Chains A and B, each alone.
Chain A
């Protein structure tokens, strides 16, 4: 599976689209007051929250403008929100101008993340965030 431009952009577009649908479902659920369903495999099986549990709640509170609350629920939610906001725009601009700046950026980022000096601190941050999630009991 070599990652070419069309393939990457399709994956990103589908992912963002699914993300927005998921967000819509969750927002409409919180409005009607129904209990939201849980899709996280780790939480279902072990009852322990995973590193990215709470991202949805974080993004929802971010959409209400409560930045601190979003951060305290799960900082990863802010990262996901930034990705979900900018990727579709970037993909559309790239497709319109027939460039592949996003693909180049993605490949650069990937090779950067594979270097130990970035991979280890970021991995530790994720683990710390996970510990924080478990302590908070999301």
Chain B
């Protein structure tokens, strides 16, 4: 894929990934076929900040985990009042990273 397109993708979507992912994504995208560009631009990622807001407001109900697609953990959080309140507080600090990891998994599925 053209370097300019890859850089454009990274610039507009960099916030969805961890810093150490960006380089790997860039290198892989440079190898990927040009045909995949339309598909790549339709990929939807979860915004870490939005998920953080949801986590702050409705973390004890597990809505944040449901939203990033980790339904099992969401049910666990819902059934235990946010892990007796502890897990809910821990997730305020963990959920952004978890969201970025989930985004990376989605990206990897696309790249393979």
Contact = CB atoms under 8 A, between A and B. Distances in A.
Does B bind A?
yes
Interface of A: 1-3, 11, 15, 18-19, 22, 39-42, 50-53, 55, 76, 79-80, 83, 106, 109-110, 113-114, 126
Contact of B60 (A11, A22, A42, A114): A42
A137 B73 CA distance: 27
Interface residues of B, number: 25
Q: From B70, B72, B80, B105, name the one whose CB has the most chain A CB atoms within 10 angstroms.
A: B80
Given A110-B71, A114-B71, A15 B80 contact: yes
B89 to A, nearest CB: 8
A3 B65 CA distance: 14
Interface in B56-112: 59-61, 69-73, 75-76, 78-86, 88-89, 98, 101-102, 105
Given A1-B101, A39-B85, A51-B61, A79 B72 contact: no
Nearest to B82: A41
Given A42-B60, A50-B60, A79 B79 contact: yes
The DSSP consensus for interface residues of chain A is helix
Contact of B79 (A1, A41, A55, A109): A55
A1 B86 CA distance: 20
Contacts of B83: 15, 18
Contacts of B76: 15
A19 B85 contact: no
Contacts of B60: 40-42, 50
Contacts of A18: 83-84
Contacts of A42: 60-61, 81
B46 to A, nearest CB: 14
Given A15-B76, A52-B78, A79-B79, A41 B105 contact: no
B78 A109 contact: no
A17 B25 CA distance: 39
Q: From A1, A11, A51, A110, name the one whose CB has the most chain B CB atoms within 10 angstroms.
A: A1
